[in-house]
Structure 1
Amino acid sequence: MTNNTITRTTVPALDTSAADEAIVVMQARLASLIDLQLTLKHIHWNVVGMNFIAVHEMLDPQVDAVRAMSDAVAERIATLGGQPRGTPGAVASSRTWGDYGLDRAPTVQHLVELDKVYDGVAGDHRAAIATLGELDPVSEDLFIGQLAQLELFQWFVRAHLKDSDGDIMHRRTDG
């Protein structure tokens, strides 16, 4: 008779309950990163109009970087003794946000929406960093590095959205 039970281990000197909490946080971020890489590729395929080629070519390196982030998070989950869930069903069932709403559309429309996507992803990464700082500094460090890249990518997006006054077009407020 074969024993199919896999013994769960975590990294030395990390309490199992801390690892479990960190895994929950990271699993949510993994779903978000998988969703982001798919959204970026969707935009890449569907962006048209002014500055098309600049935006089209800007997105593929972002897709690749976010895919690498996903991989790093999944491997950290596994390192802590968890089971990373990256199937379409797992991603869809864990989403707390709506699906990206644009298909074929002009660059500025996609960039406005992508800026909002990056707001959500970066904001949730910041919250994860705060939680992970209490649980596991190695996981916290992973997310700090990722947040720096995500914020850089958002800056790239926002640079396309600047008006003649230097304001981001969709973020202007009267008064």
Structure 2
Amino acid sequence: MKASKTLTDNMQLVLVDLVELHLQGKQAHWNVVGKNFRDLHLQLDEIIEDARLFADQMAERMRALHAVPDGRSAIVAKGTSLDEFPAGLVDTKDTVAMVVAMLESAVGRMREVHDQVDEEDPTTADILHGMIEKFEQYAWMVNAENMQPTANVVTPSKK
């Protein structure tokens, strides 16, 4: 099978977000400070590793379909849907918000292109499913750091 221009363009959109997610994840990883620093620092490593793996998977899928991936920095910067991560040291609370926004943006792009991808190549759509599932899980787990509990916990009585 040879990818159409539409399929190629849609896969390229996903690729640039994955490359950008990896790069911005490293920026966050290097510059996060504050409460629960170590946990978030380590969790960012997991996200970064998957973003790199998924970028490689998408680029290699493009090549398998005779499409040419473009991960050059200028192309990534111009085409990404992710907002720029701030320069300098960033508090864990703000880092959490930024990372969740990055993950949701990447997932949003995957969902935007999904139906067109699925029409032409269900195999690539299946790859997107796995990425969406993992990034949505990461978004939930990272976001939990800033969430407020809703349970009214009562100390158990001793019997």
Q: Deviations over 1:99-140 (max 9, x none)?
A: 223531110011012111122111111112122111110110
Q: How far did 1:94 drift?
A: 1.9
- Paired positions, count: 151
Unaligned runs of 5+ in 2: 152-159
Q: Which amino acid aligns with 1:40?
A: G
**4+ residue segments displaced more than 4 Å:** none
Match in the other structure for 2:142: 157
Contact kept, 8 Å, 1:77 with 1:83, in 2: the verdict is yes
Q: Say if 1:63 and 1:50 are closer, same or farther in 2 by CA, change over 3 A.
A: same
Q: How far did 1:160 drift?
A: 0.6
**What RMSD, in angstroms, separates the aligned Cα atoms of the two structures?**
1.5
Match in the other structure for 2:118: 133
Unaligned runs of 5+ in 1: 1-10, 167-175
Contact kept, 8 Å, 1:21 with 1:135, in 2: the verdict is no
Q: How far apart, CA to CA, are the structure 2 residues paired with 1:34 and 1:97?
A: 10
Q: Deviations over 1:45-93 (max 9, x none)?
A: 0110100001001111111111000000000111111111011122123
Q: Tell me the TM-score normalised to structure 2 length.
A: 0.88
Counterpart check, 1:54 vs 2:39: yes
Match in the other structure for 1:45: 30
Q: Which moved more, 1:81-90 or 1:46-55?
A: 81-90
Q: Deviations over 1:14-71 (max 9, x none)?
A: xx5x532111100011000000011111111011010000100111111111100000
Q: Tell me the TM-score normalised to structure 1 length.
A: 0.81
User: Identical aligned pairs, as a percentage?
Assistant: 27
Q: How far apart, CA to CA, are the structure 2 residues paired with 1:128 and 1:157?
A: 25
